[in-house]
Amino acid sequence: MGETGVSSKLFKRVKPKELIYVMRDGFANFKRDISQMRGTNVWTFIMYGLLFDIANNLWRPFSIKFLERLGGTELELSLLSALPGLVGAIVLLPGAILFRRFTDRKRATAAFILISRAMLLGIAFVPMLPPAIRPMLFVVLVAIMNCPDALSQNSLQSFLGTVFNGSLRGQAIALRTKFGQALIPVVTISTGLAITFIPNTNEQRMILYQIFFVAAFLFGVIEVIIFNRLQVPQALPQQEIPKIKTDIAAIKTICKDKKFMAFLIPAITFAFTWQAGWPLANIYHVRVINATELWLAIFALISGLTAFFSGTFWQKLLRKRGNNAVFVVAAALLAGNMFMFPLVPNVFVMSFVSIFTGFSAVGINTALLNGALESTPDENRLMYLAFYNTTMNISLFIAPLFAWAILARVGISYALFISGFMRVGGTIYIWLSHKYRKK
């Protein structure tokens, strides 16, 4: 009743003619911002991000359905979320140590991006193999692909701290996210429509999946070309780069950094509860409400559009209240999502729930990335981010298996409710930890 009253007042205040003027001015400002950004690092970063989104969203949103069509069990559906985390946890810290020894980190990052995209060609051959080995082989290949992917993304996060200063960095991340959220639904819905309506048989559908894996690889090649155009400032003189002499000393210094650990511990606590819900949501989609590729694309479309339009809200909240406020609000919304899922009877209702999913996902991703960059010093940032991403990947490995164990005992509905209560606890911990730090 209260929300309806507020909405009606807003509509009374805004006349249709005024709304047209507002939209026209907004579009004019958008065009002006685009013309000013061209040729800059921000523009290159946005273009790289769009190609990254295309390469990933040609197949990732449908990977759970692809695995089910290959004959995957609930354990394999859970392992699809868990094993990439195990691989990331194993390789990130050694990879960061390796990256510290590269004289040209940008070239090394580009090489790992290309290796990651090249593995999509191997995945494209999975449907041609014996049926008994297809599901687990697909899970293993996706997990192995996370090795070069995690290393390249960790290095890229370090670049963001050097290529962009504090204020410009936030703007670049926000714009990259905003444009990406506008493009992702277009890619996803187009792919979902193609997989749903073009094939007449399951064999033809598998061939179309293979085509999309190859297309994702080709877009990945272009992604690497654009990434190489990113202008990285000249490195500091050799004697000024790291004050930490050994890798072990670097890790000890990270563990003693109170500012970094004050962000990491609440972040990893909530991340565990967030990641535990991923396989449960996937299983609910494909096993309970029987979502097809088209409906998965529709969920992504609604979620993406919501994320695109909610970007301004999160930017304003970030500027006015700080990163912790974004973290708490987004975490609370994500906790509410888990309580809604068991009440969803079909795909039509789930499409409305996707509105909340998209809105909260942008907030939590912004809070995690911006918070990690805020809490890491300029020197030795690569090792800090590797440590942060390693802990995140350890959580990513354990959380889905923990969720699967709960699922096996109590069923999907109760498992979703338990996941929701876990997220509530994680949200409260974020809020209390921030209050304690302020005192």
pLDDT at 291 over 80: yes
Residue 381 is which amino acid?
R
In this structure, is the dihedral angle defined by the CA atoms of residues 3, 348, 409 and 399, taken in order, positive or negative?
negative
pLDDT of residue 237: 41
Read off the pLDDT of residues 60-82 as tens digits, 9 standing for 90 and up.
999 999 999 999 998 999 999 89
pLDDT of residue 25: 55
Q: How far is CA 74 from the centre of its chain?
A: 23
In the DSSP assignment, the letter for residue 234 is P
In this structure, is the dihedral angle defined by the CA atoms of residues 11, 355, 427 and 169, taken in order, positive or negative?
negative
pLDDT of residue 226: 92
In terms of residues, how long is the chain? Answer: 439
In the DSSP assignment, the letter for residue 304 is H
pLDDT of residue 6: 36
| Every domain of the chain and the residues it spans | 36-231+245-438
Q: Are the CB atoms for 142 and 83 separated by under 8 Å? A: yes
pTM exceeding the 0.85 threshold for the entire prediction? no
pLDDT of residue 1: 37
**SS3 at position 104:** coil
Tokens of 116: 């990651």
In this structure, CATH architecture of domain 36-231+245-438: Up-down Bundle (1.20)
Residue 270 CA neighbour count, 13 Å, CB half: 27
